[in-house]
Amino acid sequence: MLNTSTTIIFGADGYIGWPLALHLGSRDNDKIVLVDNLSTRKLVKSVKSDTLIPIKSMKERLSEYSRQTGKKNLTYVEADAQDPKTVDRIIAKYKPDDIVHLAQQRSAPFSMVDQEHILYTELNNVATNLNILFSMIRHVPKAHLLKMGSMGEYGTPGVEITEGDLEITRKGKKAKVMFPRMGGSWYHLSKIFDTYNVAVANRFYNISATDIMQGVVYGNRVDEITNDALATRFDFDSIWGTVINKYVVQAVLLNKLLIYGKGKQTRGFLSLYDSINCLTLLRDNPADAGQYRVVNQIDEIYDTLQLAEKVRKIAVEYGIEADMENVENPRVESEQHDYQVEHKILPSLGFRKEKSMETVLREIFEDVLKNKKRAVAMKKLIYPTVYWRTATSMQVKDFAMPRDLMNTVKERKK
Ligand SMILES: NC(=O)c1ccc[n+]([C@@H]2O[C@H](COP(=O)([O-])OP(=O)(O)OC[C@H]3O[C@@H](n4cnc5c(N)ncnc54)[C@H](O)[C@@H]3O)[C@@H](O)[C@H]2O)c1
């Protein structure tokens, strides 16, 4: 088989990483190296939850991929990207043309459980990012880094969020500055550190990087997920689930949709199909040599009440009547605000939405209903348990961090 290029995906066992690997691998003969330490599987279990849609081991996934496609261009390396030497060995060995960095603790509520969870989130996320950056600089300085940030880094500033620098005027003088970032959780703060670290690495070492500010992703299918053996994870509990995915499960299990506060919090959303298509477009159209490019990766903007209305309408097609239930907002966030986002780069590269939100919602309902028995067993995980203002303990016993994932932290303290 003729390999045309090599891409390493850090975080390839995850919700987004696995479908991205499937998509890039199936498309052509590129070599795709999948790196993961399986931490999300463990961390979700640590709060007594699990992916609603069962997922196979990486070995089973890869053998099913090869059976379906007849290809062997995906290689899996189980490794912790917090370890600098490990990351260095992987990047030196595979000399990738592109590096996709998704390997982070990605739940805002999880980062807010207690001090130990904050520490884990920030150390893990900052370390994985710096390790990848420095190994890239040493071994493949001309490679393109696709770093996954979050729209949540910006917070809700009340003015249009620019895609890239903001032009300001101060005392009659003009300047361009990075758009302010006012993330609303310790997790988002870790993503902000990453943004600054990537931007500085670009400034000091001239690397080529795309820093993606991604909206909230929903759905669980892409075209390459053709059967259960290739499924990607689907989290629905109050700590790990994202809002649309959670709403569908709430409708099915509770006949209710839990609205945080007044439901006027507004965000950008995109389906898993679109997330994968955007990442693929950005990989195929890299930042210029030495360019630091910020891309806002969203498709539609809604408040959480509007989303609930959409879910409620589709629920009826499945014989489900769901009421709205207002619950105390566990987060510290602006309850009503303006939200506008500039997003021109992806459309200029040819991005078009693959399926309507309604179509994707139907797919989610079908898969959730198929796994309803499994969901019933985890029903009590739906209501919020982590409240921003009171998350100040050193260690919450019910949600103890897996000790093996805290080892690195312990070693640093010695
Ligand atoms: N899902 C969303 O709605 C969303 C929205 C915006 C941004 N993001 C970002 O996209 C990226 C992927 O998110 P996801 O939803 O697929 O999350 P995920 O938790 O399903 O995937 C992340 C993967 O990274 C792995 N990982 C974490 N730390 C690691 C380490 N030290 N070494 C090796 N592997 C490690 C995990 O095991 C997991 O498989 C994250 O950076 C997240 O912050 C996600």
The residues that bridge with 57 in the sheet, in sequence order, are none
Contact criterion met (CB below 8 Å) for 240 and 107: yes
278-299 in b/e burial notation, b at 16+ Cβ within 10 A?
bbbbbbeebbeeeebbbbbbbb
Beta carbon of 303 within 6 Å of any ligand 1 atom: no
Ligand 1 atom with the smallest distance to the CA of 81 is 32
> Ligand 1: distance of its center to the CA of 104 in Å?
5
Q: What is the mean pLDDT of residues 156-172?
A: 97
Enclosing H/E stretch for 317: helix 304-317
| Smallest CA separation from ligand 1 atom 5, residue | 216
Domains located in the chain, CATH noted: 6-218+267-298+338-355 (3.40.50.720)
- Which of 2-11, 22-31, 241-250, 302-311 is predicted least confidently? 2-11
Contacts of 195 (CB under 8 A, 6+ apart): 149, 153, 178, 181, 211
Query: Which pTM value belongs to this model?
Result: 0.97
Rounded to 5°, angle at Cα 81 from 105 and 227: 65
pLDDT for 384: 95
Contacts of 106 (CB under 8 A, 6+ apart): 14, 40, 187
Q: What is the mean pLDDT of residues 385-407?
A: 88
Q: Which residue has the higher pLDDT, 34 or 409?
A: 34
Within 242-302, where are the H helices? 243-254, 272-284
Res. 207: pLDDT tops 90: yes
Burial of 316 (0-12, 13-18, 19+ CB in 10 A): exposed
> Ligand 1: distance of its center to the CA of 321 in Å?
33
| Smallest CA separation from ligand 1 atom 40, residue | 102
Beta carbon of 103 within 6 Å of any ligand 1 atom: yes
Beta carbon of 177 within 6 Å of any ligand 1 atom: no
The residues that bridge with 161 in the sheet, in sequence order, are 341
- Which of 49-63, 310-324, 329-343, 387-401 is predicted least confidently? 387-401
Beta carbon of 106 within 6 Å of any ligand 1 atom: yes
- Predicted confidence band of residue 413 (pLDDT cuts 50, 70, 90): low
Q: What is the mean pLDDT of residues 387-413?
A: 81
Res. 408: pLDDT tops 80: no
What is the rounded CA–CA span in Å between residue 95 and residue 99? 10
> Ligand 1: distance of its center to the CA of 19 in Å?
12
pLDDT digits (tens, 9 = 90+) for 334-345: 989 999 999 999
pLDDT for 406: 83
pLDDT for 377: 87
Res. 414: pLDDT tops 90: no
> Ligand 1: distance of its center to the CA of 1 in Å?
30
Ligand 1 atom with the smallest distance to the CA of 42 is 37
Beta carbon of 192 within 6 Å of any ligand 1 atom: no
Res. 407: pLDDT tops 80: no
Burial of 70 (0-12, 13-18, 19+ CB in 10 A): exposed
**Tally of CB atoms within 10 A around 60:** 12
Q: Which residue has the higher pLDDT, 69 or 411?
A: 69
pLDDT for 280: 98
Contact criterion met (CB below 8 Å) for 101 and 129: yes
Beta carbon of 102 within 6 Å of any ligand 1 atom: yes
- Predicted confidence band of residue 397 (pLDDT cuts 50, 70, 90): confident
Contacts of 132 (CB under 8 A, 6+ apart): 10, 81, 87, 91, 99, 101, 145
pLDDT for 395: 85
pLDDT digits (tens, 9 = 90+) for 69-94: 999 999 999 999 999 999 999 999 99
Contact criterion met (CB below 8 Å) for 208 and 291: yes
Q: What is the mean pLDDT of residues 155-159?
A: 96
Contacts of 206 (CB under 8 A, 6+ apart): 141, 289, 290
Q: What is the mean pLDDT of residues 312-326?
A: 98
What is the rounded CA–CA span in Å between residue 126 and residue 103? 10
- Predicted confidence band of residue 363 (pLDDT cuts 50, 70, 90): very high
What is the rounded CA–CA span in Å between residue 411 and residue 392? 24
> Ligand 1: distance of its center to the CA of 15 in Å?
7
Ligand 1 atom with the smallest distance to the CA of 212 is 7
Contact criterion met (CB below 8 Å) for 331 and 185: yes
What is the rounded CA–CA span in Å between residue 282 and residue 288? 11
Rounded to 5°, angle at Cα 244 from 257 and 345: 150
Contact criterion met (CB below 8 Å) for 194 and 149: yes
Beta carbon of 225 within 6 Å of any ligand 1 atom: no
Tally DSSP H helices, then E strands, for the chain: 14, 14
Contacts of 92 (CB under 8 A, 6+ apart): 135, 138, 139
Res. 139: pLDDT tops 60: yes
| Smallest CA separation from ligand 1 atom 29, residue | 103
> Ligand 1: distance of its center to the CA of 220 in Å?
15
Where does 261-395 show beta strands of DSSP type E?
266-271, 292-297, 300-303, 323-327
The amino acid occupying position 125 is N
Beta carbon of 217 within 6 Å of any ligand 1 atom: yes
Longest alpha-carbon distance in the chain: 65
- Predicted confidence band of residue 102 (pLDDT cuts 50, 70, 90): very high
pLDDT for 389: 93
